[in-house]
Chains A and B, each alone.
Chain A
Amino acid sequence: MMSGSTILFYLLAALTLTCGLLSVTTRHIFRAAIYVLFALIGIAGLYFWMEYEFIAAVQIVVYVGGIIVLIIFSIFLTQQAGEKLAKPALNRQLFSALAVFCGFALTLLQVFQHDFKAGTEAAVLPTVANIGNNMLNVSESGYALPFEVISILLLAALVGCIVIALRSKPETK
């Protein structure tokens, strides 16, 4: 008899994959955005199931609440919401499907042939306290440096977005 966690896992997996599939094949752009949203929620659910709550929360806040909202805004900004998307050429679909299937088969073959040895050391629980301690740790296993680098990256992205999206000034004679 399958336990509840197993059933939950399969449900979440089904949600994620179905929504992902639908999002890449649907012809309505707004629906695609919503399908992606649900796929991301499914992934957050999987994080919850794996007992990594912090990441699940970050996923929902940043990805779902930030990025997908941004995408929806951009859909409106480029006035795409109403029309149906064009169907891709059959040629393209065929070749992509073929390539993707081959890649998928290869990956699965490699993964299932490999013997993943489970780790044996004592687990470090991913609590917020632990995460915070390790993140801002300047010692050997600390992540202070990547943290600072990421903040610079975010600054650069911010400035870059503004510059790119700035409407060019009209020519002054």
Chain B
Amino acid sequence: MPNAINIALIPLLPFAGFLLLGLFGKKYFSKTAGLIGTLLLLISCLLAFQTAYEYFFVYGKVNGVYQQFVPLQFVWLQFSKTLSIDMGLMIDPISVVMLVVVTFVSLMVHIYSLGYMKGEARFPVYYSFLGLFSFSMLGLVLATNIFQIYIFWELVGVSSFLLIGFYYEKPSAVAASKKAFIVTRFADLGFLIGILILSYCSNTLSFAELIQRLTTPGSSELQTAAGYSFMGISALTWGAVLVFIGGAGKSAMFPLHIWLPDAMEGPTPVSALIHAATMVVAGVYLVARLFPVFAITTPEVLEGIGWVGAVSAIFAAIIACTQTDIKRVLAYSTMSQIGYMMFALGVSKYGGEEGLGYTASIFHLFTHAMFKALLFLGAGSVIHYVHSNEMKDMGGLRKYLPITHITFLIACLAIAGVPPLAGFFSKEEILLAAYQHNQAIYYIALITSGITAFYMFRLYFNIFWSKPYHPHGEHHGEGVFAMVLPLVLLAAGALFAGFIPFGTLVSSDGKPLESHFHLSFSIAPVALGLAGIFAALVMYKLKNDKPARVSASLGGLYTAAYHKFYIDELYLLITKKVLFNLVGRPAAWFDRNVVDGLVNFTGNVTLSVSEGIKKMQSGKVQQYGIYVLSTVIVLSVLFIYVW
């Protein structure tokens, strides 16, 4: 049986770290903050691994099907006898997988930051924010009801805001953190409305009950929900779409992706943790959590999700080919890979073989966390060495950073889908699921995997080969042990995680799914991947003019891709021309003239009346006398004749 205390400790330990370091860090723990944070997260990680082991191999299965356990649940806010917000812990396959992923990557980032952020003035603050983020993400993953996940969703957004804007003296960092928060908040509005619709239709907030009531055909809730519709679309479809919008905002799907590249202003370990491995997959996790509702009740929404994911994947891949800031290349790569996860869910059905996409998506989430975190930490190593993010300042670093070089290469091979690394296995399953259910998306995904290999190796060659490096100034070699250890551990994960038989652990309905390995099917994607690597090798291994010629010949397409297809400019245009002019200005006019005008008017009326009354106090005694006499006469008349 699940051990409620152990599981509850997993999010609570980082939270304790947040409180401790946040409140007392500056005074007492300025040197030891990193060690405290890392230690707490180490215990959390070990507990997560223990939970995973026990769940998957000891008690999780009942009659061959993985069950959902709720070891802890309590009422947090009671509104009425039937409506209350609960807090609880839920253990089921995807939450356990996420526990492992989040705690492991967070631990790696904590260890890495011991070296990377050493000497930083606000060192304890940084670790307290990391603790807050870990707590929020773990709470999100363990949520039992849709409102709890929303609460932790917002908390994760806040942590991201705090961490992106960590260097708050930089105006670009402040702008980026604001942008991230505003875009995700805007998406979360949709999420909230979706929550309200879904919980209203199913009369409950809890996931288990919601899913059960909205997916059992003929249930009373479904029948009442069928009666509501808005603009010709049924209420449940709206609810599902709006919930997905919330997930799309957090996962940086097109067109709500604009915040992710800018979020790279934060420190690189933060990018590794939040914007590569954990927070950005929260949207995928949400869709997976509500997957029965999407798959059974609103399959058209699921199809839409698939297309959004596919479009995001290829869109980001094209842009990544043109970017010169290495962190931005990785950011667009993240967006592309999350697109993969999204469309894998989108093409999946519920149950059995049909549910392959679901398994593939979660598998890719798992492996992607490994190699993307590795890529970011490696990039952090490089940036730490050359003190710049731009590719033009790098080149030929393989002699100076050997360990970073090897681990980065492993990660690039993994993401390109070269067997037998982890990425190959997870991508195979995704492509298989797509091929079986939606051929158009399959071809898009195929082309994208070729482009992925190309731009990743463009990045690799530009950093480590290309031109020889002339170190200027004083330079240390590879970073400290704290910065090297996580790279090695994550590389091990990237190498071997692919061999986990994921289908036996995670599937859409809990029953084990055998992963099929079609050799003939794998030829196309592997070939495309190798072709992409070869193209990158030709163009970038030694510095030459081929890239310039190719970009010149592509002309407009290249410029558009370099400027990220002008999406940011479009948003700015809409905001300035439409929102500010049509909504903001009239509202401001109304506020200034009507609201303020009313207040000023009452003031002015009072003033003019008082000016008039003021004349009565003229200082002339005789006038006062006339007033008194007149009043006495009037009152006498009143009293004698009227009353």
The reply to whether B626 and A102 contact each other, CB–CB distance below 8 Å, is no
- State the CA gap A95–B636 with chains docked (Å): 18
Near B by CB (< 8 A), chain A positions 90-130 give 92, 95-96, 99-100, 102-103, 106, 110
Closest to A96 in B: B626
The reply to whether A103 and B622 contact each other, CB–CB distance below 8 Å, is no
Interface membership of B640, Cβ < 8 A: yes
Closest to B620 in A: A92
Near A by CB (< 8 A), chain B positions 609-630 give 622-623, 626, 629-630
The reply to whether B640 and A110 contact each other, CB–CB distance below 8 Å, is yes
The reply to whether B640 and A92 contact each other, CB–CB distance below 8 Å, is no
Chain A residues with CB below 8 A from B637, complex form: 106
- State the CA gap A96–B640 with chains docked (Å): 23
Q: How many residues of B contact A (CB 8 A)?
A: 10
- State the CA gap A116–B632 with chains docked (Å): 24
B622, B623, B633: the one within 8 Å of A102 (CB): B633
- State the CA gap A110–B633 with chains docked (Å): 12
Chain A residues with CB below 8 A from B633, complex form: 99, 102-103, 106
The reply to whether B640 and A103 contact each other, CB–CB distance below 8 Å, is no
Chain B residues with CB below 8 A from A99, complex form: 626, 629-630, 633
A95, A106, A110: the one within 8 Å of B626 (CB): A95
- Enumerate 6 A-B pairs (CB-CB under 8 Å) in ascending A order: A95-B626, A100-B629, A103-B632, A106-B633, A106-B636, A110-B640
Chain A residues with CB below 8 A from B623, complex form: 92
Closest to B634 in A: A102
Closest to B630 in A: A99
Chain A residues with CB below 8 A from B640, complex form: 110
Q: A99-B626, A102-B633, A106-B637 are in contact. List 6 more A-B contacts (CB 8 A).
A: A96-B622, A99-B629, A103-B629, A103-B632, A103-B633, A106-B633
Closest to A104 in B: B633
- Min CB distance, A92 to chain B, in Å? 7
- State the CA gap A43–B174 with chains docked (Å): 97
Most buried by B among A96, A99, A100, A103: A99
- State the CA gap A46–B491 with chains docked (Å): 131
- Min CB distance, A106 to chain B, in Å? 6
- State the CA gap A96–B637 with chains docked (Å): 18
Closest to B623 in A: A92
Chain A residues with CB below 8 A from B636, complex form: 106
- State the CA gap A110–B636 with chains docked (Å): 11
- Min CB distance, B528 to chain A, in Å? 105
- State the CA gap A92–B630 with chains docked (Å): 13
Chain B residues with CB below 8 A from A102, complex form: 630, 633
Chain B residues with CB below 8 A from A92, complex form: 622-623, 626
- Min CB distance, B37 to chain A, in Å? 82
Closest to A92 in B: B622
Chain A residues with CB below 8 A from B630, complex form: 99, 102
Chain A residues with CB below 8 A from B626, complex form: 92, 95-96, 99
- State the CA gap A48–B622 with chains docked (Å): 35
- State the CA gap A85–B470 with chains docked (Å): 110
Closest to B627 in A: A99
Closest to B628 in A: A99
Near A by CB (< 8 A), chain B positions 19-51 give none
Closest to B636 in A: A106
- State the CA gap A76–B632 with chains docked (Å): 37
Interface string of B546-570 (1 = CB under 8 A from A): 0000000000000000000000000
- State the CA gap A113–B632 with chains docked (Å): 20
Interface string of B115-156 (1 = CB under 8 A from A): 000000000000000000000000000000000000000000
- State the CA gap A96–B633 with chains docked (Å): 13
Closest to A110 in B: B640
- State the CA gap A102–B629 with chains docked (Å): 10
Most buried by A among B622, B629, B632: B629
- Min CB distance, B641 to chain A, in Å? 10
Closest to B637 in A: A106
Interface string of A67-104 (1 = CB under 8 A from B): 00000000000000000000000001001100110110
- Min CB distance, B635 to chain A, in Å? 11
- Min CB distance, A102 to chain B, in Å? 5
- State the CA gap A106–B631 with chains docked (Å): 13
Near A by CB (< 8 A), chain B positions 64-86 give none
- Min CB distance, B491 to chain A, in Å? 101
- State the CA gap A102–B640 with chains docked (Å): 15
Interface string of B222-244 (1 = CB under 8 A from A): 00000000000000000000000
- Min CB distance, B405 to chain A, in Å? 100
